[in-house]
Chain A
Amino acid sequence: MSMLHFVALAPFIVAIIIPFLYKKFRHIHTGWFVLPVPLLLFIYLIQYLPLGGEAMEIVENTVAWVPSLGINYTVYLDGLSLLFALLITGIGALVVLYSIYYIANKRDEPLNNFYVFLLMFMGAMLGVVLSDNLMVLYVFWEITSLSSSLLIAYWYHKEKSRYGALKSMLITVAGGFAMLAGFALLYVMTGALGSATFSIREIISYADVLKDSPLFLPAMLLILLGAFTKSAQFPFHIWLPDAMEAPTPVSAYLHSATMVKAGIYLVARFTPLFGGEAEWFWIVTGVGLFTMLWGSVSAIRQKDLKSILAFSTISQLGLIMSLLGLGSAALYFDIPNAGSVYSVAILAAIFHLVNHATFKGSLFMVVGIVDHETGTRDIRKLGGLMALMPITFTISLIGIASMAGLPPFNGFLSKEMFFTGTLQSMTLDIFNVQTLGFIFPVVAWIASVFTFIYSMILFFKTFTGKYQPEKLDKEAHEAPMGLLIPPIILASLVVIFGFFPNLLAYTIIDPAMQSILPGLLTEGEQFDVKIYHWHGLNPELFMTIAVVAFGTLIYLNLDRWKETTFFMRERDPLNAFYDNGLDGLVTGSQKVTKLQMTGLLRDYILYMLVFIIGMITWTFIKFNAFQYDFANLTLVPPYLWIVILVIIAASISLPFISHRISSILVLGVIGFLVALLFVIFRAPDLALTQLLIETVMVVLFLLAYIYLPELKKIDVKPRFNIFNLVVSIGMGLVVIVTGISVHAMRNDLDITSISEYFIENSKALGGGYNMVNVILVDFRGMDTLLEVLVLSIAALGVVTMIKLKMKGGEDI
């Protein structure tokens, strides 16, 4: 166990202690006990940053967990992991600080739950980004799903919270299962190479060979499904807006900076394996771009601040995803000059990832403050807060400008690089991009226009216009300092990264790029990471200017379209699929159950018989098993014919008898005739037993008879009766055919019967001439013992049922 192992485990350990601290120190806000955890982890992790401009040292440590299955808790810290780990711990610390002031230390507020879930989530998230073992990664992945659902439903008395939690749980866990299947396929593929492994690094080292496996594409699709559900990509994004029922610190943490980026992490982590494939390029880029467009268009319809931010997050995640897809082309082996042109997209992706975490985190916190201080998040009620909440306003301005992609903030830089990436991808001559590539910059540009519009809505509707105190629950005023510090820190980072983007260049971006795009560089070389504000008058700049111009134009005319149904509908239309699907699943399964579970024993017997007939018939046909061989048959004497005919006649008459006494007597007749058969076939013991048992049975039937009602004619549809007839005849035929075939096969195989042994040894070993009895008590006495036990249990059962009769209405 190294220190690094404890980075992921520390939050879990603290989570165990938190409830005790909560109970013991009720007057101190529990959040103060939590705050040191992410803070110390952040300080610890920051030491791994390569500050001197040299390459980052990669750390790896293994602790065996289930070594026999190749499952080990391996921590692997490279540039990508470090970037995510710093985001998780850094923003985690700020969110904990924010939540201390956001969720008041009231008596009925279950703070212990909140911080236990939050710590669980933090630990799981760190585990996801630090694990090198697929199974361990999956375990942490599912803990993030679980704890995020718990956090969404923190105010579980609200129905919408429970709805949102269930939705996010179903969607992310479904994706998680798909991902698990993908991981299993990877394991199988490496197993085919002779070295089955769960280690991501080892799997990536086999990338060249694995590409030819038939399982390669299924594994890619399944893993992508996991990444897309987690990162709210189209069409799985619908859980994210409903997850906004969570407390705002949770939204800020989970739904802007960490959990939704787990899918991004997964895609980035697996780019060295799948990147360079056309399917990967098109799926990741296409889904990302479409999600970006869909999210930004949906965001302008929202009336709730958090919903706007939710769709904005979806859109920005789509942007990052599409950049990762575009950048993966750099790994295509046919590209000359090491594909450094396309690696710009990866650079942009990482840079925007950091930027998004900073400005989106601060915006969520700001929205939380507005909610906290005015009592509403509805943009139709808000307005004119600029003068009342100057600090909040300033932070928002920075965050929104960065989100919209305006200079001089960091969002502008990553937006420019995004345009560069899409424009350069047009020049690709692989993957059929030369014909369809023009779509990338066009979609990107349209999405950016809509991004600009919702940013303007967010800003102007909240802070400008008229202040409407009559619509608000509270008197609006500036928030306390504690609430403001975390967003101030994040906003300052937005500004710092905006003015000095190269602070990040060789500390964070370059190491992360090296882990996403390995093999492009020779030893000791570094990516050329230089981020400038001024590129000259290039197409990207004109695109940005056009975005601002068109965005402003559309925003000014927004009132004309306000009354259209497009703007009235806030809910994403895809929710209909989810809701109807879930309803359909419930009602559909109820229908199937009702159709099949009729409660009539007759039906269940029919199912069983039909199944048995079907199975035996299928087996006969499949193995061509029907045989007949009428040699070795005994001659049937006339008296045997008579006995058999009488048995058949009695059996056939049974269903037509409508009087119970007659039925009982006919059954008795059959029983005595069977005894006669035993006599004919020379089985005296059986004949005796059969006679006696049949007598006792008839006596019992007659005893029970007096309690029975007269048989009634039941109106059953004739169709049903015919079906019964067919099934019963079928069953009879199946048994007959089986008997004939078994007989024929026995002749063929010439099996020696075990009875030879019994005949020879009955006297010598058992000491008796009655072989049947010697078998019963000596050779196979165990069977007899247990059968006697069966009889005893039956007798005791009868006694229990009759003597300990339940009074009416009781369930037995």
Chain B
Amino acid sequence: MKTNYLMLHTITRIVTFIILSFSIYLFFAGHNSPGGGFIGGLMMASGLILLYLSFDLKTIKRVLPFDYSTLIATGLLIALLTGFNGLLFGDPFLTQYFDYFELPILGEVELTTALPFDLGVFIVVVAITLLIILTIAEDDS
């Protein structure tokens, strides 16, 4: 049976962008408002799952050619290296630093080492959610 998912596809194309943008907002807003790496990561994973749901697995795999196991490792590595950063300055493991900088367009911005740490969390959460769900979904036995 051939079905036409025109409505779904059209809506997905628009909604996915909104969800992904929101997830990135959540990720960056995390330090001062509700949000953060974990929630942002889950949100992004949900958006991607929507893509997988409305289109078939093969197409999305071509569009997003990520190996999620490698992504997990990358995320963990980023979080760990942020932790080692503290050791370089003679502080304990996982000491976070922050300071305020004047950037050309954005004006005064707070930059913190918690951000790359959160990025690691973000990547891991996205990767594991997709990895688990896709592995189970792809299993055809």
Binding site for B on A (CB under 8 A): 684-685, 688-689, 692-693, 695-696, 699-700, 703-704, 766-770, 772-774, 776-778, 781-782, 784-785, 788-789, 791-792, 794-796, 798-799, 802-803, 805
Distance in angstroms from B13 CB to nearest chain A CB is 21
Q: Which residues of A contact B124 (CB under 8 A)?
A: 788, 791-792
Is there an interface contact between B35 and A700, defined as CB atoms closer than 8 Å? no
Residue B3 lies at the interface, judged by CB distance under 8 Å to chain A: no
Name the one of B33, B131, B139 contacting A795, with C-beta atoms under 8 angstroms. Answer: B131
Is there an interface contact between A769 and B34, defined as CB atoms closer than 8 Å? no
Cα–Cα distance between A423 and B131 once the two chains are bound (Å):
94
- Determine, out of B4-12, B54-62, B74-82, the stretch whose residues face the partner at the interface: B74-82
Is there an interface contact between A767 and B125, defined as CB atoms closer than 8 Å? no
Is there an interface contact between A699 and B49, defined as CB atoms closer than 8 Å? yes
Is there an interface contact between B133 and A788, defined as CB atoms closer than 8 Å? no
Identity of the chain A residue whose Cβ is nearest the Cβ of B136 in the assembled complex: A703
How many B residues touch A, CB cutoff 8 Å? 48
Cα–Cα distance between A253 and B53 once the two chains are bound (Å):
86
**In the A-B complex, the 10 residue pairs with the closest CB atoms:** A767-B98, A768-B31, A684-B34, A795-B128, A692-B42, A769-B32, A777-B114, A773-B36, A781-B94, A778-B96
Known contacts: A781-B83, A788-B124. The answer to whether A688 contacts B137 by CB under 8 A is no
Name the one of B31, B96, B125, B139 contacting A791, with C-beta atoms under 8 angstroms. Answer: B125
Beyond the given pairs A685-B36, A768-B32, A788-B125, 12 more chain A to chain B contacts, judged by CB atoms under 8 angstroms and listed by A's residue number, are A689-B39, A689-B42, A696-B46, A703-B133, A703-B136, A770-B34, A781-B83, A785-B94, A788-B76, A791-B124, A792-B124, A798-B135
Residue B45 lies at the interface, judged by CB distance under 8 Å to chain A: yes
Is there an interface contact between B98 and A785, defined as CB atoms closer than 8 Å? no
Q: Which residues of B contact A700 (CB under 8 A)?
A: 132-133, 136
Cα–Cα distance between A670 and B35 once the two chains are bound (Å):
23
Chain A binding surface SS class: helix
Name the one of B32, B69, B94 contacting A782, with C-beta atoms under 8 angstroms. Answer: B94
Distance in angstroms from A664 CB to nearest chain B CB is 15
Is there an interface contact between A692 and B39, defined as CB atoms closer than 8 Å? yes
Known contacts: A767-B31, A768-B31, A785-B80. The answer to whether A802 contacts B121 by CB under 8 A is no
Distance in angstroms from B39 CB to nearest chain A CB is 5
Residues 83-111 of chain B, each 1 if its beta carbon lies under 8 Å from chain A, else 0: 10000000001101010000000000010
Cα–Cα distance between A769 and B137 once the two chains are bound (Å):
40
Distance in angstroms from B132 CB to nearest chain A CB is 5
Cα–Cα distance between A704 and B93 once the two chains are bound (Å):
40
Cα–Cα distance between A799 and B135 once the two chains are bound (Å):
6
Cα–Cα distance between A805 and B49 once the two chains are bound (Å):
25
Is there an interface contact between B39 and A688, defined as CB atoms closer than 8 Å? yes
Is there an interface contact between A685 and B136, defined as CB atoms closer than 8 Å? no
Is there an interface contact between A689 and B38, defined as CB atoms closer than 8 Å? yes
Is there an interface contact between A788 and B39, defined as CB atoms closer than 8 Å? no
Binding site for A on B (CB under 8 A): 26, 30-39, 42-43, 45-46, 49, 68-69, 72, 75-76, 79-80, 83, 93-94, 96, 98, 110, 112, 114, 117-118, 120-121, 124-125, 127-129, 131-133, 135-137, 139, 141
Cα–Cα distance between A799 and B134 once the two chains are bound (Å):
10
Is there an interface contact between B137 and A774, defined as CB atoms closer than 8 Å? no
Cα–Cα distance between A766 and B118 once the two chains are bound (Å):
14
Q: Which residues of A contact B69 (CB under 8 A)?
A: 796, 799
Q: Which residues of B contact A794 (CB under 8 A)?
A: 128, 132
Cα–Cα distance between A788 and B33 once the two chains are bound (Å):
21
Cα–Cα distance between A785 and B76 once the two chains are bound (Å):
8
Is there an interface contact between B46 and A692, defined as CB atoms closer than 8 Å? yes
Q: Which residues of B contact A692 (CB under 8 A)?
A: 39, 42-43, 46
Distance in angstroms from B40 CB to nearest chain A CB is 10
Is there an interface contact between B118 and A777, defined as CB atoms closer than 8 Å? yes
Is there an interface contact between B96 and A781, defined as CB atoms closer than 8 Å? yes
Identity of the chain A residue whose Cβ is nearest the Cβ of B138 in the assembled complex: A802
Distance in angstroms from B7 CB to nearest chain A CB is 21
Cα–Cα distance between A778 and B30 once the two chains are bound (Å):
12
Is there an interface contact between A766 and B96, defined as CB atoms closer than 8 Å? yes
In the complex, 6 of the A-B residue pairs with CB atoms within 8 angstroms, ordered by the A residue number, are: A685-B34, A692-B43, A696-B42, A766-B98, A773-B35, A774-B114
Distance in angstroms from B22 CB to nearest chain A CB is 11
Q: Which residues of B contact A703 (CB under 8 A)?
A: 133, 136-137
Q: Which residues of B contact A776 (CB under 8 A)?
A: 36, 38
Cα–Cα distance between A788 and B37 once the two chains are bound (Å):
11
Identity of the chain B residue whose Cβ is nearest the Cβ of A699 in the assembled complex: B133
Cα–Cα distance between A773 and B39 once the two chains are bound (Å):
11
Name the one of A770, A781, A784, A799 contacting B31, with C-beta atoms under 8 angstroms. Answer: A770
Q: Which residues of B contact A802 (CB under 8 A)?
A: 135-136, 139
Distance in angstroms from B128 CB to nearest chain A CB is 4
Q: Which residues of A contact B118 (CB under 8 A)?
A: 773, 777
Distance in angstroms from A490 CB to nearest chain B CB is 78
Cα–Cα distance between A527 and B33 once the two chains are bound (Å):
100
Cα–Cα distance between A773 and B122 once the two chains are bound (Å):
13
Identity of the chain B residue whose Cβ is nearest the Cβ of A781 in the assembled complex: B94
Cα–Cα distance between A766 and B96 once the two chains are bound (Å):
8
Q: Which residues of B contact A795 (CB under 8 A)?
A: 68, 72, 127-128, 131-132
Is there an interface contact between B125 and A778, defined as CB atoms closer than 8 Å? no
Cα–Cα distance between A700 and B110 once the two chains are bound (Å):
38
Is there an interface contact between A789 and B96, defined as CB atoms closer than 8 Å? no
Name the one of A769, A770, A773, A792 contacting B128, with C-beta atoms under 8 angstroms. Answer: A792
Distance in angstroms from A37 CB to nearest chain B CB is 63
Q: Which residues of B contact A792 (CB under 8 A)?
A: 72, 75-76, 124, 128
Name the residue in A703, A791, A798 with the highest tally of chain B Cβ atoms < 10 Å from its Cβ: A791
Distance in angstroms from A696 CB to nearest chain B CB is 6
Cα–Cα distance between A805 and B138 once the two chains are bound (Å):
13
Q: Which residues of A contact B98 (CB under 8 A)?
A: 766-767
Name the one of B32, B80, B112, B136 contacting A704, with C-beta atoms under 8 angstroms. Answer: B136
Distance in angstroms from B135 CB to nearest chain A CB is 5
Q: Which residues of B contact A803 (CB under 8 A)?
A: 135
Q: Which residues of A contact B49 (CB under 8 A)?
A: 699
Is there an interface contact between B135 and A766, defined as CB atoms closer than 8 Å? no
Is there an interface contact between B75 and A788, defined as CB atoms closer than 8 Å? yes
Is there an interface contact between A767 and B110, defined as CB atoms closer than 8 Å? yes
Distance in angstroms from A782 CB to nearest chain B CB is 6
Q: Which residues of A contact B127 (CB under 8 A)?
A: 795
Distance in angstroms from A288 CB to nearest chain B CB is 72
Identity of the chain B residue whose Cβ is nearest the Cβ of A695 in the assembled complex: B46
Distance in angstroms from A125 CB to nearest chain B CB is 60
Cα–Cα distance between A689 and B35 once the two chains are bound (Å):
9
Distance in angstroms from A81 CB to nearest chain B CB is 63
Q: Which residues of A contact B42 (CB under 8 A)?
A: 689, 692-693, 696
Q: Which residues of B contact A769 (CB under 8 A)?
A: 31-33
Identity of the chain B residue whose Cβ is nearest the Cβ of A794 in the assembled complex: B128
Identity of the chain B residue whose Cβ is nearest the Cβ of A805 in the assembled complex: B141
Q: Which residues of A contact B80 (CB under 8 A)?
A: 785
Q: Which residues of B contact A766 (CB under 8 A)?
A: 96, 98, 114
Q: Which residues of A contact B132 (CB under 8 A)?
A: 700, 794-795, 798-799
Q: Which residues of A contact B121 (CB under 8 A)?
A: 777, 784, 788
Q: Which residues of A contact B128 (CB under 8 A)?
A: 791-792, 794-795
Cα–Cα distance between A692 and B23 once the two chains are bound (Å):
12
Identity of the chain B residue whose Cβ is nearest the Cβ of A791 in the assembled complex: B128
Known contacts: A770-B30, A773-B35. The answer to whether A798 contacts B136 by CB under 8 A is yes
Q: Which residues of B contact A788 (CB under 8 A)?
A: 75-76, 79, 120-121, 124-125
Is there an interface contact between A770 and B35, defined as CB atoms closer than 8 Å? yes
Q: Which residues of A contact B33 (CB under 8 A)?
A: 769-770
